């Protein structure tokens, strides 16, 4: 329970003091207190649970939010005001925005997990992908985190679908896709950390609303909006010569508001190659990166318009002296949101990205004592997109209609190197366009929630040309029109129980990287295939949601998905030190299993979150019968997470995170097995006055050996990492 005391006397002469406590009378620090005045003002409650504002009128709305409690909204009043609230069940404070229109969690047939800003802050790890590993079933292409891994290995998947370099999950923020324009992988450090408010993971095919790449689900990074005058600073250091600086500043004046955020990150990294396989050429993999965001918004009556720019610049070493890569992405967006009670809600987004990516490749001697530069690569790309959407509610029926287009142009320039002499550059340029229209009807009669949505996409790859090669090959052009429907049903029962079911179709078009670019990770070379076709998926889910008053929620689901023509890297040749693979449409894979998630607050100072996924993902059809029945690469059968968080004013915050994953294979033939592992992380924080907080964290407390990949040399996940830092809010 929460006790709110708002004391105001006169808007002209007295300020507003808000103190936040639980039902035992303990002060709650870190609560977000918002004064809905003009301009909007925000503050976090201090160690005594209080926040103080300047003068405000008695009718000014005060809003207080804190994880695990229902949000308070009421006038400031003209004197002391005591309000007692119950601890919120998880579903009462969550809305699913990844469904194109806000929807309460218990009205959604999709399996959704939300990580709040507070949970993101307290999750040990450096980048967003480290934090999302707290969600059972969240898988990267390999087990290595993005702070040391090559960007081309940072694809992700949900629901046991696996991934190649390209992601089988769409990552977006404020309706703008974040998947790499050329390769489809994810730059997890692109958005400054303090500019992310929450992250939603919606599992299961979502091409009915989002088109290509949403074959396994959607990860929606909800941005911080510039409201009121506020600032935040996070400065930390860690072992492996690692440091991080996060900053945020917001302000508003006369209907205008602005935001500036940055993340500066550097690490000396660690040697990925397992100790028993290391040689003289093995050095730490590391990264130096800078990301920044600027945003300006202007209120216009019932809506607002905005202009936003984002920059990522990074330079990496990939584990040997001659293998490096660098990325620079400029991403920009403009648009507006309007809400008119008579005409509905309107949304418009115009966005684009310009990217330059470079990488060098080498060959390594059998004893890993010598290295020779073999190839230089430059991959510039450009992307333009637009989204328009309208939604309106007619009694029990909500209707959503929209359209979007995404146009990508990319070029892959390859320069072979022989005995340190540059050879003739071979360049391939091509263009892709995904145009879609979609509609959704959400009907909620007498407690039911029935959602029917569908989308038609025209996905085309064209204008593919190669220069510098003799003879000049003829590259195929592919054009496909795809229809993807979805039906979701939720039926509430007594006792806080809801039953859910959904069925869907989804697709993913091959990326320009898969079609035209030869990639290399370690000594594993993957050849392009310009004849690839889109992946098509059919699936269904059924489950239930149980809300326990004052305690939390339990959600379970059974899922079944079948993907036709999945793109996979199939081995074509191998030596003791080198593998050569080629991307192919594998035939068919089937993933089926169960997920279970629990969010509990059994007592006021303890929160427990747990998740488990069993995914039986196998190849069910392929022209090579020896691959049929094999496990889908990079997908473990079992994965589980557990987080226990305790908070007391006199102690602070202490959290324990446990993550475990079963064995998996790093190749389609299941020759390279990666053993199971378990990892324990710790987090502790103590608050002082004036918004000052000190924190410390340990990743991989037991220094467990985590087998990350076999390329074919064994590489390892991160060792024990100890971190400490300071935050100001």
Residues 174-191: what's their mean pLDDT?
93
Find tokens 């890297």 and name the residue: 569
Please tell me which residue, 151 or 430, carries the higher pLDDT value: 430
CA distances from 562 to 110, 314, 536, 586, 631 (A): 18, 37, 8, 12, 14
Please tell me which residue, 715 or 496, carries the higher pLDDT value: 715
Please tell me which residue, 575 or 506, carries the higher pLDDT value: 506
Q: Closest Cα to residue 311, out of 288, 334, 333, 328?
A: 328
Residue 11's pLDDT band (cuts 50, 70, 90) = very low
Q: Residue 85 above 60 pLDDT?
A: no
- CB-CB contact of 375 with 416 (8 Å): yes
Report DSSP state, residue 508. E
Report DSSP state, residue 193. G
Query: What pLDDT sits at residue 162?
Result: 81
Residues 2-27: what's their mean pLDDT?
54
Total residues found in the chain within this entry: 729
Query: What pLDDT sits at residue 2?
Result: 36
Residue 77's pLDDT band (cuts 50, 70, 90) = low
Residues 31-54: what's their mean pLDDT?
70
Query: What pLDDT sits at residue 26?
Result: 64
Alpha carbons 346 and 388: distance in angstroms, whole number: 8
Helix (H) or strand (E) holding 512: helix 512-516
- CB-CB contact of 414 with 398 (8 Å): no
Provide φ and ψ at 151, rounded to 5°: -55, -30
Residue 89's pLDDT band (cuts 50, 70, 90) = very low
Query: What pLDDT sits at residue 712?
Result: 83
Report DSSP state, residue 160. T
Cα angle value 402/403/404 (rounded, 5°): 135
Ordered domains of the chain (ranges, CATH): 2-88 (2.60.40), 100-218 (2.170.130.10), 219-728 (2.40.170.20)
Query: What pLDDT sits at residue 27?
Result: 67
Find tokens 């004052």 and name the residue: 550
Lowest mean pLDDT among 60-64, 77-81, 188-192, 533-537: 77-81
Tens of pLDDT, residue by residue over 115-171, are 888 889 999 889 999 999 999 888 888 888 899 998 888 888 888 888 767 788 999
Work out the percent of the chain whose per-residue pLDDT is above 90.
56
- CB-CB contact of 655 with 647 (8 Å): no
Query: What pLDDT sits at residue 174?
Result: 93
Q: Which are the contacts of 90, defined by CB distance < 8 A and separation ≥ 6?
A: 105, 547, 552, 553, 599
Within 10 angstroms of residue 369's Cβ, the number of other Cβ atoms is 11
| Residues paired with residue 51 on neighbouring β-strands, in sequence order | 18
Q: Which are the contacts of 271, defined by CB distance < 8 A and separation ≥ 6?
A: 278, 282, 283, 284, 285, 319
Q: Residue 57 above 80 pLDDT?
A: no
Tens of pLDDT, residue by residue over 308-321, are 999 999 999 999 99
Within 10 angstroms of residue 420's Cβ, the number of other Cβ atoms is 7
Q: Closest Cα to residue 205, out of 213, 214, 196, 197?
A: 214
| Residues paired with residue 136 on neighbouring β-strands, in sequence order | none
Within 10 angstroms of residue 495's Cβ, the number of other Cβ atoms is 9
Burial class (CB in 10 A: 0-12, 13-18, 19+), 313: middle
Lowest mean pLDDT among 234-238, 335-339, 680-684: 335-339
Tokens of 279: 């040689």
Tens of pLDDT, residue by residue over 509-529, are 999 988 998 877 767 788 888
Alpha carbons 502 and 65: distance in angstroms, whole number: 32
Cα angle value 544/550/552 (rounded, 5°): 35
Residue 9's pLDDT band (cuts 50, 70, 90) = very low
Q: Closest Cα to residue 26, out of 55, 60, 3?
A: 3
| Residues paired with residue 407 on neighbouring β-strands, in sequence order | 384, 433
Alpha carbons 190 and 194: distance in angstroms, whole number: 12
- Report field, pTM of the whole predicted structure over 0.75: yes
Alpha carbons 480 and 434: distance in angstroms, whole number: 10
Report the DSSP pairing between strands 524-527 and 579-585. parallel
Residue 82's pLDDT band (cuts 50, 70, 90) = low
Residues 400-418: what's their mean pLDDT?
95
Q: Closest Cα to residue 647, out of 604, 690, 612, 610?
A: 604
Alpha carbons 111 and 556: distance in angstroms, whole number: 8
- CB-CB contact of 633 with 667 (8 Å): yes
Q: Closest Cα to residue 106, out of 90, 117, 87?
A: 90
- CB-CB contact of 114 with 156 (8 Å): no
Give the 3-state secondary structure of 610-628.
EEEEEEEEEEEECCCHHHC
Residue 723's pLDDT band (cuts 50, 70, 90) = very high
Please tell me which residue, 496 or 98, carries the higher pLDDT value: 496
């Amino acid at each position: 329970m929460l006790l709110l005391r708002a004391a105001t006397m006169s808007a002209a002469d007295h300020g507003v003091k808000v103190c936040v406590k639980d039902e035992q009378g303990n002060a709650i620090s870190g609560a977000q207190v918002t004064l809905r005045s003009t301009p909007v003002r925000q503050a976090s409650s201090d160690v005594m649970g209080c926040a103080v504002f300047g003068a405000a009128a008695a009718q000014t709305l005060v809003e207080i939010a804190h994880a695990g409690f229902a949000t308070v909204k009421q006038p400031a009043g003209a004197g002391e005001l005591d309000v007692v609230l119950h601890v919120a069940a998880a579903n009462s404070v969550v809305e699913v925005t990844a469904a194109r229109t806000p929807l309460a969690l218990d009205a959604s047939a999709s399996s959704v997990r939300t990580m709040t800003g507070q949970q993101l802050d307290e999750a040990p790890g450096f980048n967003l992908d480290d934090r999302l590993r707290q969600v059972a079933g969240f898988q990267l292409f390999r087990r290595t985190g993005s702070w040391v891994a090559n960007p081309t290995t940072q694809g992700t998947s949900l629901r046991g679908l696996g991934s190649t370099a390209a992601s089988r999950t769409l990552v977006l923020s404020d309706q703008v896709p974040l998947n790499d324009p050329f390769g489809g992988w994810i730059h997890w450090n692109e958005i400054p950390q303090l500019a992310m408010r929450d992250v939603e993971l919606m599992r299961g095919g979502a091409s009915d609303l989002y088109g290509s790449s949403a074959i396994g689900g959607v990860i929606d990074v909800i941005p911080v909006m510039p409201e009121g005058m506020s600032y935040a600073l996070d400065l930390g250091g860690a072992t492996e010569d690692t440091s991080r600086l996060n900053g945020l500043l917001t302000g508003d004046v006369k209907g205008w508001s602005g935001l500036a955020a940055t993340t500066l990150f550097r690490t000396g990294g660690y040697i990925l190659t397992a100790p028993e396989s290391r040689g003289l050429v093995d050095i730490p993999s590391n990264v130096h990166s800078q990301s920044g965001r600027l945003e300006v918004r202007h209120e216009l009556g019932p809506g607002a318009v905005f202009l936003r720019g984002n920059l990522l610049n990074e330079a990496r070493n990939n584990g040997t002296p001659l293998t490096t890569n660098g990325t620079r992405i400029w991403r920009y967006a403009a648009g507006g949101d309007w809400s008119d009670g008579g005409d509905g809600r309107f949304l418009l987004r115009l966005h684009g990205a310009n990217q330059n990516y470079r990488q060098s490749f080498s060959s390594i001697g059998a004893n890993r004592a010598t290295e020779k530069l073999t190839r230089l690569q430059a991959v510039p790309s450009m992307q333009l997109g637009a989204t328009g959407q309208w939604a309106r509610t007619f009694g029990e029926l909500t209707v959503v209609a929209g359209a979007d287009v995404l146009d990508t142009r990319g070029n892959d320039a390859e320069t072979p190197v022989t005995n340190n002499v540059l050879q003739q550059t071979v360049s391939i340029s091509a263009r892709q366009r995904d145009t879609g229209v979609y509609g959704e009807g959400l009907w909620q009669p007498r407690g039911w929630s029935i959602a029917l949505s569908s989308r038609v996409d025209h996905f085309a790859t064209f204008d593919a040309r190669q220069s510098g090669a003799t003879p000049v090959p003829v590259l195929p052009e592919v054009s496909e029109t795809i229809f993807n429907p979805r039906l979701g049903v939720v039926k509430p029962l007594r006792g806080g129980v809801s039953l859910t079911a959904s069925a869907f179709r989804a697709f993913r078009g091959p990326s320009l990287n898969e079609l035209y670019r030869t990639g290399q990770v370690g000594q594993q070379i993957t050849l392009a295939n310009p004849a690839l076709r889109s992946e098509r998926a059919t699936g269904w889910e059924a489950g239930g949601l149980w809300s326990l008053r004052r305690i939390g929620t339990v959600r379970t689901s059974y899922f079944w998905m079948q993907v036709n023509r999945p793109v996979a890297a199939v081995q074509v040749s191998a030596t003791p030190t080198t593998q050569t693979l080629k991307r192919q449409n594998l035939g068919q894979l089937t993933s089926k299993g169960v997920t279970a998630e629990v969010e509990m607050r059994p007592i006021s100072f303890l929160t427990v979150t747990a998740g488990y996924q069993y995914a039986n993902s196998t190849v069910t059809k392929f022209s090579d019968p020896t691959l049929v029945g094999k496990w889908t690469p990079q997908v473990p059968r079992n994965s589980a997470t557990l987080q226990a968080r305790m908070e007391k004013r006199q102690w602070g915050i202490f959290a324990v995170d446990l993550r475990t994953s079963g064995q998996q294979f790093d190749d389609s033939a299941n020759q390279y097995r990666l053993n199971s592992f378990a990892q324990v992380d710790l987090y502790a924080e103590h608050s002082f006055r004036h918004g000052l907080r000190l924190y410390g964290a340990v990743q991989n407390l037991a220094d467990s050996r985590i087998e990350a990949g076999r390329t074919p040399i064994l590489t390892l996940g991160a060792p024990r990492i100890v971190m400490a830092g300071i935050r100001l809010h």
